[in-house]
């Protein structure tokens, strides 16, 4: 656990100021990260600390290998702050389940026949396109800051086979109807650490969901969306800084993934009022990467 400090030493402050004079990353404020994830109602194995007189907790699932789960699509981008440091856009565009409603084929003691029940759907390219248009685009139109509607908005996705191509005509036509400049690009192949959702956001959100009680798929979806809505936007800002740190490590490795995720004591820097909006890289590393790209 990182311990917070109120003040940094003069040497630490000087090092930060010198770093800011070097090459810096763009703010990434107009880049939206999207991805899908399976969320489970509970873990296969859970650890409890109990008193000797307490009874073992009761688990109601029939089999640990058939735990109810649901896939959800998530879209986030860096939050925005005003001059006073107050957040006016939290960067949480939304999280949506891949489910459908259909009537129950048989009755039981829990529900009557014909009662609508929630079931997962298979994610195909058509389904992915539909969710981008009806969920993500509508969320951007509804939530994107007014002063930033003239800039190009990028949607980053991975290279999954179910994802649409960046020049998908149906998607492009839907974008034109919004009046915004929204484009799709794919992240580099074999690079899960270059997506903030895989880098730490999904794991954190799933851990928070495990703290709630989800008896069925409807409870699971409700709990995930509730935890998403209550998620601290400062943690989203921090994971985008971690993303930039991973990019620096990728540069040092010449484009490889054989590196450890860096840690920069963001909590301590924030407590001292020294947390940067974006990271900087060494000038020599910057030019070395450019030469490598030109030679490729």
CATH superfamily of 23-41+66-232: Ribonuclease H-like superfamily/Ribonuclease H (3.30.420.10)
**Site of tokens 């999904």:** 202
Among 225, 207, 205, 216, CA closest to 66: 216
Among 17, 8, 12, 20, CA closest to 282: 20
Q: Are 231 and 224 in contact (CB under 8 A)?
A: no
* The pLDDT value given to residue 8: 54
How does DSSP classify residue 135?
I
* The pLDDT value given to residue 21: 44
- What is the full DSSP assignment across 93-133? EEEEE-EEEEE-SS--SSS-TT-EEEEE----HHHHHHHII
List strand residue ranges (DSSP E) for the chain, in order.
23-24, 31-40, 69-76, 80-81, 87-89, 92-97, 99-103, 116-120, 153-157, 182-186, 280-281
* The pLDDT value given to residue 117: 83
Find all residues with CB under 8 Å of 248, minimum gap 6, and list them: 262, 279, 281, 285
Contacts 24+ apart (CB under 8 A), 57-66: 60/215
Over the chain (296 residues), the average pLDDT of each successive run of 10 is: 48 51 72 94 79 77 76 96 90 96 79 81 95 97 94 93 94 96 88 85 92 87 96 93 90 83 85 84 84 76
* The pLDDT value given to residue 19: 46
């Amino acid at each position: 656990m990182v311990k917070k400090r109120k003040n940094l030493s003069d040497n630490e402050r000087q090092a930060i100021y010198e770093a800011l004079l070097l090459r810096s990353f763009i703010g990434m404020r107009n880049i939206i990260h999207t991805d899908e994830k399976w969320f489970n109602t509970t873990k296969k194995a859970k650890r409890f600390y109990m008193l000797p007189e307490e009874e073992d907790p009761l688990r109601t699932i029939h089999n640990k290998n058939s735990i109810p789960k649901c896939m959800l699509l998530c879209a986030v981008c860096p939050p925005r702050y005003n001059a006073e440091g107050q957040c006016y856009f939290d960067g949480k565009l939304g999280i949506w389940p891949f489910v459908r409603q259909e009537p129950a084929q048989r009755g039981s003691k829990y529900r009557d026949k014909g009662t609508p029940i929630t079931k997962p759907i298979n994610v195909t390219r058509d389904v992915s396109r539909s969710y981008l248009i009806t969920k993500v685009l509508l969320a951007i139109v509804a939530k994107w800051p007014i002063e930033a509607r003239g800039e190009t908005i990028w949607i980053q996705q991975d290279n999954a086979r179910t994802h649409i191509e960046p020049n998908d005509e149906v998607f492009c036509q839907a974008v034109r109807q919004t009046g915004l400049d929204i484009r799709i690009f794919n992240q580099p192949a074999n690079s899960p650490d270059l997506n903030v959702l895989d880098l730490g956001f999904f794991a954190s959100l799933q851990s928070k969901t495990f703290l709630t009680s989800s008896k069925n798929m409807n409870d699971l979806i409700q709990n995930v969306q509730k935890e998403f809505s209550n998620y601290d936007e400062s943690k989203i800002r921090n994971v985008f800084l971690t993303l930039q740190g991973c990019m620096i490590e990728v540069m040092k490795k010449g484009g490889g993934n054989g590196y450890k995720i860096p840690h920069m004591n963001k909590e301590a820097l924030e407590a001292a009022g020294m947390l940067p909006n974006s990271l900087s890289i060494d000038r020599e590393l910057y030019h070395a990467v450019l030469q490598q790209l030109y030679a490729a």
